Amino acid sequence: MLPYPQIDPVLLHLGPLQVRWYGLMYVLGFIASYLLVQHQIKKYKLDLLARHFENLNLVLIISLVLGARLGYVLFYNPGYYLENPQAILATWQGGMSFHGALAGMLLGGLLFCRITGLPFWQNADVYIITTPIGLGLGRIGNFINGELYGRMSSAPWAMAFPAGGPIPRHPSQLYEAFLEGVVLFSLLWLLKKQYWQRRWPTGSLLALFLLFYGIFRVIVELFRQPDEQLGFLFNLLTMGQLLSSLMIATGLLILFLRRKSIGQTT
C-alpha cells in the first residue's frame, strides 16, 4: 500500500480568502482551453469564430458552472436539495457534475451559435478537443481533496484516503485523470488532422469525445466507490455509469446522423 500524500487542499490563504487547489485546476483548464482554441482559430482561419471568441468563452464558462452545479443537484442528491434549496448556491461545499457541465456547455453553446449565426457543430468540435485537459486537472484536484476515491483494493498502489478510513482503496481519481485527461486529449488532438482535411463530417470530434469519455468513465467506475447517498442503481450500475452510457449512445447517434455532412460547417 502506498501512503496517501497529505496535501493541504488550500494552496494559499489571503486573509479571509482561500485559494484552493481544486479551484486552481478549473482556472488552469480554462486557460488551456482558451489558448488551444485560439491556436486552432489562427491555424484553420476561423474568422467568424474569432469575432465572437471572447463572448462565446464567457457564455461557455457560465454554462459550465451552472450546468455542473445543477447536474449534481438533479443527478446525485435531489432529495437533499429539495429539503434544503438554499444549499444549491453553496458551491463552496462541493458538488459538481461533469455530465451536467457538459450538458450546460452544449446548450449554452447551441443557443449562442443560433443567435450569432456561428456554425454549432464545427465550433463544438473546436472546443471539445480541449475539454480533456480540464477534466484531467479536475481529477487531480479531486485527488488532492481526498474525495471521489476508489473501492477497496489489495493492489500495491492502493491508498488509505482520510475520508475513506484505514482501508486501502484504488486511487480512482488518478485513473480518471490519465484516461479522461491524458489519453482522451492525445487521441482527439491527433485525430483533428484528419478532421480538418474534410475527411470527416462536422460533429465527429464531439461524437468521439462522447463515445470515448463514456467508455473510459464506465470502466473507471468499476474501481470508484459509488456515491454514498445513491449506491448502486438497480443493484448494478452507478449513476456515473448510467449517465456515461447515455453519452456513448449519444455519440453513436451523432456519428450516424452527421455521416452525410462531410464538407459542411453548420
What is the per-residue pLDDT across 36-87, written as a single tens digit (0 to 9) for each?
999 999 999 999 999 999 999 999 999 999 999 999 899 888 888 888 888 8
For residue 142, is pLDDT > 80?
yes
Q: What is the 8-class DSSP label of residue 179?
A: I
Residue range 106-116: mean pLDDT, rounded: 97
In a domain? residue 22: yes
In a domain? residue 134: yes
Of 17 and 138, which is predicted with more confidence?
Answer: 138
In a domain? residue 263: no
For residue 3, is pLDDT > 70?
yes
- How confident is the model over 156-191, as pLDDT tens digits? 999 999 999 999 999 999 999 999 999 999 999 999
pTM above 0.85, yes or no: yes
Distance (Å, whole) CA 135 – CA 68:
12
Q: Roughly what angle, to the nearest 10 degrees, separates helices 239-257 and 204-220?
A: 160
In a domain? residue 2: no
Containing structural domain, residue 69? 10-257
Longest Cα–Cα distance in the chain: 58
Distance (Å, whole) CA 109 – CA 187:
23
Mean pLDDT across the chain: 92
How distant, in Å, are the alpha carbons of 35, 45, 122, 126 from that of 39?
A: 6, 10, 15, 10
Q: Into how many domains does the chain fold?
A: 1
Query: Cell for 19?
Result: 485559494
Residue range 244-255: mean pLDDT, rounded: 96
pLDDT of 14: 81
In the block, residue with C-alpha cell 461524437: 207
In a domain? residue 262: no
In a domain? residue 3: no
In a domain? residue 169: yes
For residue 155, is pLDDT > 80?
yes
Residue pair 173/148 in contact (Cβ under 8 Å)? The answer is yes
Reduce the DSSP state of residue 235 to 3 states and report it.
coil
| Ramachandran sector of residue 169 (left: φ over 0; alpha: ψ -120 to 50; beta: rest) | beta
In a domain? residue 111: yes
Of 138, 112, 111, 106, the closest CA to residue 125 belongs to 106
